[in-house]
């Protein structure tokens, strides 16, 4: 969709962004950035959108990557705000935003932020996110001043290492329709697609893997993360729920989630396994699943022997030990290698991360074929039996695949709409979506805490993970310190304070608060946009309260470990500041207790607190209780069409409560075993 703006509209956008992130006096950052050159300090403090050529380009790029409906809505809002007569009911001023003083624009932004009407708060959040991304990425000097070095991180480390690629099948040039015969067609090459394709290929079956994303190559790594986002994430990493209350990150590349995850490896808690068994998956508590988890763990080289923790990961462990909170290191699927590069989240393909190499690449070595940039249009089926799929390859070639079995490994967002556009009718398809909502709490430390060589997520605190007796509640982990992730959940008190906080990027320890959601949403199929999932999800009050509880516990960890300043993700909770040495701190300290007591009284509400999701589950649940309860049986077969199998996180009966990589791969290993059994039985019957 075109994102052209008139000059007047550009001035409106720039006026808003300059109020969100205004220039501040150089003296205000001198003490904050003592290790930065005077030239860079000046850029960090005083650069504005109006003297920044890259800002407009970044805005255009971001909007072109967003969904058409969101871009259209944004353009409409800017058009209204750029017309004096139309803007008055919103701004309550006869001045255009571009004519207002910085104080007047700040007052307008605060009116959006504090509005009782959710859509206005949504507008506040959208403008803040766009301003942050477009502004900070618009100038190399600005990024350098903040200490952000994505482009240069680890370049020397990997210069001599071999880079593996999955061989991709090329469409025949002389055919308008490409026809392929295979035993099993696997739709999706991610965590589960790789596992089941590997298992089937090892058993000697013909396997074809179709992936709608493309493959990241060496030349794609080391570029700006904004550029890479557009290549490997759903909707260029601009996906969100229909009410805009939660941003959603999902992989869309060869390797899928296995290529972009942060290597954190955790087994499915047995309490959750018991719930799954009660919901109609009896093997969830069996040795069959134990063996699958053991196999996956070993296959990926998962280990606890990966060197030192980052500052934030060590803080979680040390702070938890002081306070008596249960915490532990997490496994990493990197073998003997250190999981410490920004490339982890961008198609990390050097053979050090087992999520892709040990499954997908090995499947290809065993005979599986892969076609990338291939969008499956529908599963062909008649009278309860599937015969294959129809797809379109990126160059426009129509692909027809005839297969004995169809396996959907598209993930919890794509599998439901694939089934719906293929004509399957079960009303439970798309229901029950779980997202593991997240937010962050921040500590500002005197020392530099964000280093490009850091491990990412190697520890977890579970002090609050069972708030209701049913194991719904938050965990505390470290977030990947990519700039947009680190700054995403910061509170916006006002523009001046926001810029000063952002200037401390290198010193911000960000604790990720991830909760096992009790609430649920839906994935909706939209006939007018059949290839894009419509996600109806709003974090429930219970889950928002859980995030608040987790953030407060995270604040305790930050305080006891000596953070000079603590920022909660809600702007109504003021910054806490103390220069007391960590060795002298106690949670009972009067100043901290007063701040904590006030923070406890502030409700977390959508848009007032930023929330996100990188885990999508349970939108096409499996159960042996029948099609009235779930669309898929306990062996992964679609009730409506038993030779269509669903093998991804969508079949989870509920949220895993932990980073789901080990869980979904183990589920795929079990369901893959069932599929092999059925194919062998078919072969035996054919011989009779």
Longest dimension (CA), the chain: 86
DSSP state of 98: G
The strand pair at 398-408 and 177-187 is best described as parallel
CA distance 202 to 663: 22
**Which of 337, 436, 615, 645 is flagged as catalytic?**
615
Query: How many other C-beta atoms can be found within 10 angstroms of the C-beta atom of residue 63?
Result: 21
Find, among 134, 191, 257, 272, the residue nearest to 613 by Cα.
257
- Continuous segment of H or E residues that includes residue 679: helix 661-687
Tally the C-alpha atoms within 13 A of residue 18's C-alpha that lie toward its C-beta: 24
Show the CA angle centred on residue 236, arms to residues 233 and 239, nearest 5°. 90
Kindly provide the b/e burial profile for residues 4-23, where b requires at least 16 CB atoms within 10 angstroms of the residue's own CB. Answer: ebeeebbbbbbbbbbbbbbb
* Cβ atoms of residues 258 and 359 within 8 Å: yes
* Cβ atoms of residues 133 and 502 within 8 Å: no
Find, among 84, 109, 80, 111, the residue nearest to 96 by Cα.
84
- Continuous segment of H or E residues that includes residue 565: strand 565-567
* Cβ atoms of residues 639 and 626 within 8 Å: yes
- Helix (H) and strand (E) counts in the chain: 24, 23
The strand pair at 327-329 and 438-444 is best described as unpaired
Could you tell me which residues come within 8 angstroms of residue 152 by beta carbon, excluding any fewer than 6 positions away?
Answer: 222, 452
472 is a catalytic site residue: no
Residue written as token pair 């470990």: 561
* Cβ atoms of residues 129 and 62 within 8 Å: no
**Phi then psi dihedrals of residue 413, to 5 deg:** -95, -35
Q: How far is CA 48 from the centre of its chain?
A: 30
CA distance 183 to 206: 5
CA distance 197 to 370: 10
Residues noted as catalytic = 615
């Amino acid at each position: 969709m075109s994102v052209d703006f008139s000059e007047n509209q550009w001035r409106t956008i720039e006026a808003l962004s300059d109020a969100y992130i205004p220039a501040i006096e150089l003296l205000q950052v001198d003490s904050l950035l003592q290790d930065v050159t005077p030239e860079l300090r000046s850029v960090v403090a005083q650069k504005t959108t109006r003297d920044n050529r890259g800002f407009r380009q970044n805005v255009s790029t971001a909007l072109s990557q967003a969904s058409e409906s969101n871009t259209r809505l944004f353009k409409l809002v800017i058009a209204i705000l750029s017309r004096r007569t139309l803007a008055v009911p919103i701004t309550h001023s006869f001045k255009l935003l571009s004519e207002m003083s910085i104080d007047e624009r700040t007052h307008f932004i605060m009116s959006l932020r504090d509005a009782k009407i959710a859509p206005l708060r949504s507008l506040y959040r959208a403008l803040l996110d766009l301003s942050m991304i477009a502004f900070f990425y618009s100038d190399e000097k600005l990024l350098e001043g903040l200490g952000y070095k994505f482009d240069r991180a680890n370049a020397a480390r990997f210069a001599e290492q071999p880079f593996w690629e999955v061989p991709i099948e090329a469409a025949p040039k002389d055919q308008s329709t490409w026809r392929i015969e295979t035993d099993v067609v696997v739709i999706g090459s991610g965590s589960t697609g790789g596992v089941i394709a590997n298992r089937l290929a090892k058993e000697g079956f013909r396997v074809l893997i179709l992936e709608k994303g493309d493959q990241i190559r060496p030349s794609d790594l080391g570029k700006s993360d904004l550029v890479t986002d557009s290549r490997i994430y759903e909707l260029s990493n601009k996906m969100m729920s229909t009410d805009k209350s939660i941003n959603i990150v999902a992989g869309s590349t060869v390797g899928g989630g296995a290529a972009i995850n942060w290597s954190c490896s955790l087994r499915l808690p047995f309490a959750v396994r018991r719930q799954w068994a009660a919901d109609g998956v009896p093997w969830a508590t069996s040795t069959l699943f134990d063996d699958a988890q053991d196999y996956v763990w070993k296959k990926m080289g998962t280990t606890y022997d990966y060197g030192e923790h980052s500052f934030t990961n060590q803080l979680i462990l040390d702070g938890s030990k002081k306070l008596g909170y249960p915490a532990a290191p997490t496994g990493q699927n990197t073998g003997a290698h250190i999981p410490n590069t920004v490339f982890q989240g961008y198609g990390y393909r050097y053979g050090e991360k087992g999520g892709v190499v040990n499954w997908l690449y090995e499947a290809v070595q065993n005979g599986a074929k892969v076609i990338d940039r291939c969008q499956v249009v529908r599963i062909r089926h008649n009278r309860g039996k599937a015969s294959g799929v129809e797809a379109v390859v990126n160059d426009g070639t129509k692909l027809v695949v005839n297969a004995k079995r169809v396996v959907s490994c598209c993930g919890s967002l794509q599998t439901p709409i694939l089934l719906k556009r293929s004509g399957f009718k079960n009303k439970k398809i798309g229901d029950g979506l779980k997202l593991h909502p997240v937010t962050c709490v921040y500590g500002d430390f005197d020392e530099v805490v964000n280093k490009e060589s850091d491990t990412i997520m190697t520890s977890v605190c579970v002090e609050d993970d069972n708030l209701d007796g049913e194991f719904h509640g938050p965990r505390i982990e470290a977030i990947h310190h990519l700039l947009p992730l680190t700054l995403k959940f910061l509170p916006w008190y006002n523009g001046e304070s926001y810029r000063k906080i952002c200037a401390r990027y290198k010193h911000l320890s960000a604790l990720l608060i991830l909760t096992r959601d009790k609430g649920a949403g839906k994935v909706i199929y939209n006939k007018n946009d059949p290839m894009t999932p419509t996600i109806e999800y709003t974090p429930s009050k219970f889950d928002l309260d859980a995030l608040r509880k987790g953030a407060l516990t995270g604040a305790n960890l930050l305080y006891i470990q000596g953070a000079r300043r603590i920022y909660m993700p809600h702007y109504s909770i003021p910054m806490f500041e103390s220069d007391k040495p960590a060795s002298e701190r106690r949670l009972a300290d009067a100043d901290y207790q007063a701040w904590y007591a006030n923070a406890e009284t502030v409700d977390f509400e959508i848009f007032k607190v930023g929330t996100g999701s990188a885990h999508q589950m349970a939108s096409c649940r499996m159960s042996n209780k029948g099609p009235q309860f779930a669309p898929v049986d306990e062996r992964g077969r679609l009730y409506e069409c038993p030779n269509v199998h669903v093998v991804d996180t969508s079949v989870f009966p509920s949220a895993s409560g932990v980073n789901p990589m080990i869980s979904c791969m183990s589920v795929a290993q079990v369901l893959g075993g069932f599929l092999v059994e059925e194919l062998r039985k078919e072969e035996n019957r054919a011989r009779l």
